[in-house]
Copies of this chain bind each other. A is one copy, B any other.
Amino acid sequence: MTKTNPGRFFEDFHLGQKLQHATPRTLGQAEQTLYSALYGSRFALQASDVFAQDVGLPRAPLDDLLVFHTVFGKSVSDISLNAVANLGYAEGVFYKHVFPGATLSAHSEIIGLKTNSSGQTGVVYARTTGTDEKDERVLSYVRWVMVRKRDPGAPAKEESVPSLAGAVPAAELRVPPHLNFDTLFEPALSGSSDFWNHYEPGEKIDHVDGMTVEEADHMTATRLYQNTARVHFNQHAEAKGRFGKRLVYGGHVISIARALSFNGFANAMTLAAINGGRHVNPVFAGDTIYAWSEVLEKAPIAHRKDCGALRLRLVATKDLPCAEYPDKNASGTYPDPVVLDFDYWAILPRS
C-alpha cells in the first residue's frame, strides 16, 4: 500500500523471478572524470581518447568497473535493500566497451534461494544484466546476498543453489570490439613495458601504495552509482548499528585496489571477466587500503596474436602494507586486515 520502497525480504523472492531495475542512466565523459578523480586511476586506455584511437577504439571507453558499479547500483533497491551482507560474485562477463553517451539499464533474474539455518535470513542468488540503449548486453554477473526475512517464522523455501563456474573459461573471454594492439604503443605512454608475455602464473606483485578512504569520497562514489544501500550513507542510524559507523560499499574498495594495481599492471588495461569476489572484512572511512596481486592463469585468446588474458587475484587490505602478501590461512580464514579477495580476467597487449 505504501508508496515508498521498503525493499524485498527473503519471502518476496522466487526462483525465476525477473526484475527490471530503475533508473536508466546515461553515462557521459563526466562520470568517467569523477570516477578517475575518486580513485586516481591512470590506465591509458580510459584516460586518453588519442591512446584509445591508436588501439582501434572510437574514443576512450568508460572504466569497466564504473560500468559494473552502475549496473550493480540499479539492482540494489530491488534485491539488496534488506541485505545483511553481499556474499559473493561469479560469472561476470564484460561483453563490450561502454562509451560516453551510452544509456545503461539493468535487469535481474533470481536463480537461486537458500534459507539459512538461523531462520532469520536467506541467501538470494541473482544474475544481473546491464544493457545499453541498443538493448545490447554490456555486462552480466551473478551475485548472492544474505537477505533478512520479514517473518522469521515463515517456512523455509525449497533450496535451490545454482551451480556457478569457479571462473569464466578463458575460451569464453571476449576482446572488446575493435580493440587491437597489432601496432604496439610506446610503453612510456602506458607507464609500463611489462606486457602479457612478461607475467607468469604464481607471480605475486605488491602494489606498494596506499589510499585512505574518506566518508565524502566513498559516499560520493556510491551516489555516483545511484546505489542506495542505507548502510553507506546514514551515520545517525549506523551509530546504533552493527559497526557503529557507515560501511564502505565493497565496490568502492574494488575500485581503489584496481587503481592501486596500476603500479605493477599498467598494461592490464581492460577487464574481460569477474570470476569471483568476496568482501571478507568491512572497510570504514579512515582505513587505508593497500593491495597485492597474484597471477593465477595466463591464457592466449583465440585468433589473437596481439593480446592475451591474465587471470589475476587482487587482494586488498586495510592498514597493512602488502610486501608480505597477507592472505587467508590454510583453513581458508582471512586475517582481519584483509578486506577483499577479487578474481578477474584482464586483457593485456603482447609485445
Task: Please state if A211 and B234 are interface contacts (CB–CB under 8 Å).
Answer: yes
* Residue contact B40 to A26, C-beta cutoff 8 Å: no
- B26→A207 contact, CB < 8 A: no
* Chain B: CB-nearest residue to A188: B20
* Nearest B residue to A317, CB-CB: B236
Q: 13 A-B pairs, CB-CB below 8 angstroms?
A: A22-B192, A22-B266, A23-B51, A23-B191, A24-B50, A36-B223, A36-B224, A40-B222, A40-B223, A49-B101, A209-B230, A215-B216, A235-B286
| Stretch in A27-35, A168-176, A273-281, A308-316 with 4+ CB within 8 Å of B | A27-35
Question: What residues on B are CB-neighbors of A237 within 8 Å?
Answer: 210, 288, 321
Closest CB-CB distance, A269 to chain B, in whole Å? 11
In the assembled complex, A306 has its CB within 8 A of some CB on chain B: no
Asked if residues B228 and A40 are in contact (CB atoms below 8 Å), the reply is yes
Cα–Cα distance between A148 and B289 once the two chains are bound (Å): 25
Contact assessment for A24 and B4 in the assembled complex, using a CB-CB cutoff below 8 Å? no
Residues of B within 8 A of A43 (CB): 23
Interface residues, chain A, with chain B CB atoms under 8 Å away: 3-6, 20-26, 28-34, 36-40, 42-44, 47-51, 60, 77, 101, 103, 105, 133, 186, 188-192, 194, 198-199, 205-212, 214-217, 219-224, 226, 228, 230, 233-237, 246, 263-266, 286, 288, 290, 319, 321
Tell me whether B39 and A26 are in contact (CB under 8 A).
Answer: no
Are B103 and A22 neighbours in the complex by a CB distance under 8 Å?
A: no
CA A67 to CA B265, docked complex, whole Å: 27
Within the complex, what minimum Cβ distance (angstroms) separates A218 from chain B? 9
A26 proximity list for chain B (CB < 8 A): 47-50, 60
Q: Is the CB of B23 within 8 A of A190?
A: yes
Interface contact B30-A205, CB-CB below 8 Å? no
Q: Are A234 and B216 in contact (CB under 8 A)?
A: no
Contact yes or no, B189 A103, CB < 8 A: no
Q: Are B30 and A42 in contact (CB under 8 A)?
A: no
Interfacial chain B residues near A22, Cβ < 8 Å: 42, 44, 188-192, 266
Establish whether residues B47 and A228, one from each chain, have CB atoms under 8 Å apart when the complex forms: no
A-B pairs, 9 with minimum CB distance:
A22-B191, A236-B288, A40-B223, A30-B33, A216-B216, A30-B30, A24-B48, A20-B188, A210-B234
The one of B5, B48, B233, B265 in contact with A211, judged by C-beta atoms closer than 8 angstroms, is B233
Residue of B40, B205, B206, B219 near A214 (CB, 8 A) is B219
